């Protein structure tokens, strides 16, 4: 149908003529209420997930300097790509006693990425790991309460006193 006739029909129906597929041959158009059409398009765009995916970086407290810098580079790349980053510090064996080292490591990462990311979820203990969530954006601040010292768990007299204590009463200590 010729363009002039299509516009005439659209006006007679109190609708607008909207081009749907301009690359098609012939061009495809539709009679619609343009206000409603634009509202639906905006609503559909809002439903799409903003930002990127959730990425995870795992490390231990025994990480070497170069490995730490490499992981930090990956975190910075993910944040610039608009991805969220979950940083997990894993404790193996008796390392769990030194959880404050993991907190210090996560705080260091937060400070290093403060220019491009912010902390959404401060370090949380999850079983034998410590997790923190970073999101893209500026304005991250580190407060003093993020680093919490772990109370000393060694008895006052040292390890020797702990071995001599007989809590069960059924063992004999030498």
**CATH pick for 54-146 out of 3.30.110.10, 3.40.50.970, 3.10.20.600, 3.60.9.10:** 3.30.110.10
Q: According to the CATH classification, is domain 3-47 in 3.10.20.80?
A: yes
Q: Global pTM?
A: 0.52
User: How far, CA to CA in Å, does 4 sit from each of 17, 85, 136?
Assistant: 11, 55, 50
| pLDDT tens for each residue of 104-159 | 999 999 999 999 999 999 999 999 999 999 999 875 444 444 444 444 444 455 44
Which pLDDT belongs to residue 91? 93
Domain boundaries, the chain: 3-47, 54-146
């Amino acid at each position: 149908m010729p363009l002039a006739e299509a516009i005439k029909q659209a006006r007679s129906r109190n609708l607008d003529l909207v081009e749907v597929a301009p690359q098609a041959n012939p061009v495809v158009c539709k009679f619609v209420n343009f206000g409603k059409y634009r509202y639906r398009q905006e609503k559909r765009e809002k439903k799409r997930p903003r930002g990127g995916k959730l990425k995870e970086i795992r490390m231990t407290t025994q990480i070497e300097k170069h490995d730490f810098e490499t992981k930090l580079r990956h975190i910075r790349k993910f944040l610039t790509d608009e991805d969220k980053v979950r940083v997990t510090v894993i404790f193996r064996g008796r390392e769990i006693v030194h959880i404050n080292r993991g907190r210090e490591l996560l705080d260091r990462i937060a400070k290093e990425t403060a220019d491009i990311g912010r902390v959404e979820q401060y370090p949380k203990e999850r079983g034998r790991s410590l997790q923190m969530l970073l999101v893209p954006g500026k304005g991250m601040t580190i407060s003093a309460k993020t680093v919490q010292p772990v109370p000393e768990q060694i008895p006052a007299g040292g390890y020797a006193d702990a071995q001599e204590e007989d809590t069960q009463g059924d063992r004999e200590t030498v």
